[in-house]
Amino acid sequence: MRPFLDDLAPAELRVLARIRLAVTARLVAAAAPLDPAVRELSARPFRLALKVPGLPRALVAGLDGRVSAWAGGEAPPLRLPADLTLLFPSARDCARVLDGVPGRVLPVPGGLHAGRALRFFRAAAAAAPRILKSPETPPAVRAALLLEAAVSALVETAAADPYVAPKLEHAPDGLVVVDAGEGVRRALRKEGTRLRLVPVPGEDPGSAGAEPPDGTDPAGAGRPGGGRAEAARADAVRIDAILAFRDPGAAVAVLSGKKSAVTALGACEASIRGLVPLVQGLFAVLDRASRYLAVKADKEAGHGR
């Protein structure tokens, strides 16, 4: 893939915009409780949409003090109009603005809380990268944010980019749990060439961790107790593979692209249990998604190699 936004083909631009919409929506939602000012701004309800004509919109909604996000055509349980839609006239504008460089964006009010939604978005969109970069951020928090970004990028790349279709088609179907350590987990279901975010099977507050059905410890961390209880619960929804990082730091290294997954596996900083080719299929998509996310918005702004 070409390294600069202006060199991408129109279809690639649309994939990139879709990824940016989803990653941004999920990141701002995930960052909301982590920053006092943003938490304050999300205390009261709002609904915000991010939209590019011709692409599925992303939604961020604050309700009961909790911020949730939907993207890639997923819909919230209640289909209410957004208080504010941030409308990007083109995929290129979307990719630019959401990468932090100038571009066109039109705020389109649609409800009573448009101002609140905008204030929230501005604060949260600034907070997310700040939290990610800050040395004070605990590795588990950074890992959780990066995992959130990674899974949404995976889902969107699989949905929108035909490039990864042959690899996904080749990989077996099933449910993968990604365990970044310290309780940070996300689950994806792969069906054909599609990926879907799904609840982590057996996840409840205080559960010990994702376990394969036989009760062997996926991360090799020797967590006491959890295995058999988890196995019973996992019977209902079978976990086909587990990608477990040794600790959040190891997860951060791979999810931020500093270390390749295969190298992390060899260094025992990550392990795969279960259906290895299913996870290999995800690696192929992750690789492609990372290329999109590495595309530079601006040649002039001192970006580039």
Partner 1 sequence: MAADRFARSKAVFERAARVIPGGIYGTKSPGFLLPGKFPYYIESASGSRITDADGNVFVDYLCGFGSQIVGYGNPAVERAGSERSARGDLLNQPSPLMADLAERLVSRIRGMDWTVFAKNGTDATTLAVSLARVHTGKRVVIAAEGAYHGAANWCSSNLFPELAPDRADVALFRYNDLEGLEALFRRHRGNVACVILTPHHHPAFRPQVLPDPELYPTVRRLCQAEDALFVMDDIRDGFRLHPEGSHVRFGAEPDLVCVAKALANGWPLAALLGTGRVRSAADSFFITGTYWMSGAPMAAALACLDEMERMGGVGRMEALGTALREGLESAGREAGFSARVSGPAAIPYLTFDEDPDLYLNQRFCGAMADRGFFLHPHHNWFVSLAHSEADIAATVEAAREVFVEMSGER
Sites of contact with partner 1 (CB under 8 A): 162-163, 166-167, 170, 174, 212-216, 220, 227, 238, 240-241, 260, 262-263, 265-268, 271-277
Distances (CA, A) of 271 to 43, 119, 168, 237: 39, 41, 20, 21
Instruction: Please report how close the Cβ of residue 299 comes to partner 1 at its closest, in angstroms.
Output: 25
Nearer to partner 1, 99 or 240 (CB): 240
Nearer to partner 1, 248 or 274 (CB): 274
Nearer to partner 1, 65 or 277 (CB): 277
Instruction: Please report how close the Cβ of residue 277 comes to partner 1 at its closest, in angstroms.
Output: 6
Give me the phi and psi of 188, to 5 degrees please.
Answer: -130, 140
Give me the phi and psi of 87, to 5 degrees please.
Answer: -100, 120
Instruction: Please report how close the Cβ of residue 166 comes to partner 1 at its closest, in angstroms.
Output: 4
Nearer to partner 1, 15 or 272 (CB): 272
Nearer to partner 1, 126 or 231 (CB): 231
Q: Let me know: does 47 contact 77? Beta carbons within 8 Å.
A: no
Instruction: Please report how close the Cβ of residue 220 comes to partner 1 at its closest, in angstroms.
Output: 7
Quickly tell me which residue has 């918005």 as its tokens.
297
Quickly tell me which residue has 């290294």 as its tokens.
253
d(CA 79, CA 161): 27
d(CA 61, CA 84): 11
Instruction: Please report how close the Cβ of residue 202 comes to partner 1 at its closest, in angstroms.
Output: 15
Nearer to partner 1, 21 or 234 (CB): 234
d(CA 139, CA 128): 14
Give me the phi and psi of 175, to 5 degrees please.
Answer: -110, 125
Nearer to partner 1, 57 or 246 (CB): 246
Nearer to partner 1, 58 or 241 (CB): 241
* Angle, CA 48 vertex, CA 43 and CA 49 arms, to 5°: 160
Instruction: Please report how close the Cβ of residue 144 comes to partner 1 at its closest, in angstroms.
Output: 24
Q: Let me know: does 292 contact 1? Beta carbons within 8 Å.
A: yes
Compute CA 249 distance to the chain's CA centroid, rounded to the nearest angstrom: 17
Instruction: Please report how close the Cβ of residue 237 comes to partner 1 at its closest, in angstroms.
Output: 13
Q: Let me know: does 211 contact 218? Beta carbons within 8 Å.
A: yes
Q: Let me know: does 105 contact 86? Beta carbons within 8 Å.
A: yes
Instruction: Please report how close the Cβ of residue 216 comes to partner 1 at its closest, in angstroms.
Output: 5
Bridge partners for 247 per DSSP: none
Q: What is the CA radius of gyration of the chain?
A: 19
